[in-house]
Amino acid sequence: MARDVNPLKSELITLSLNTQTVWYLDRLVETGLYGNNRTEAARVALYDHCKMLIAGNQLAVAPTMPSKEVTAVG
């Protein structure tokens, strides 16, 4: 089943990591649960960590995007 298109615009960032962190990313890729390369592993790990911080009330939830539907006033 195909996924819906993500309504959020992607932003490209560059990370510089030490060799130990790269080693950890490679271990995450080897599990098969974090994507097929270091970039995907970093993205999934960051998403997961943000979700954990939000669940623990240590990070505020980002504002919701405006609805694409136009509501008639009248």
pLDDT digits (tens, 9 = 90+) for 37-52: 999 999 999 999 999 9
Q: Is residue 73 part of a domain?
A: no
Given CA atoms 5, 10, 12, 17 in this order, what sign does their dihedral have?
Answer: negative
Q: Is residue 41 part of a domain?
A: yes
Query: Which amino acid is residue 43, in one-letter code?
Result: R
Angle at which helices 38-55 and 19-31 cross, to 10°: 90
Q: Is residue 23 part of a domain?
A: yes
Helix (H) / strand (E) containing 50: helix 38-55
Number of domains into which the chain is organized: 1
Q: Is residue 4 part of a domain?
A: no
Alpha carbons 54 and 47: distance in angstroms, whole number: 11
- C-beta of residue 33 within 8 angstroms of C-beta of residue 45: no
Instruction: Determine if the pTM surpasses 0.85.
Output: no
Q: Is the pLDDT reported for residue 70 higher than 90?
A: no
Query: Which amino acid is residue 9, in one-letter code?
Result: K
Q: Is the pLDDT reported for residue 7 higher than 90?
A: no
pLDDT digits (tens, 9 = 90+) for 22-40: 999 999 999 999 999 999 9
Q: Is residue 34 part of a domain?
A: yes
Q: Is residue 32 part of a domain?
A: yes
Segments forming the whole domain that contains residue 49: 19-55
Q: Is residue 31 part of a domain?
A: yes
